[in-house]
Amino acid sequence: MPRTKTSRSAFNILKKQANKVLSSLRREIAQKEKELASLRQDAQRLDAVVSGRAVAAAGGGAPRMRLDWNLILKELPETFTSREVGQKSGKPMEQVYAGLNRWIKDRKVRKGKEGYQKVGAATR
CATH of segment(s) 69-123: 1.10.10
| Domain-wise residue ranges, the chain | 5-58, 69-123
Helix, strand, coil abundance in the chain, percent, nearest 5 = 70, 10, 25
pLDDT one-digit tens code per residue, 51-101: 876 555 455 556 677 888 999 999 999 999 999 999 999 999 999 999 999
Neighbours of 86 (CB within 10 A): 17
pTM to 2 decimals?
A: 0.47
The DSSP letter of residue 65 is: P
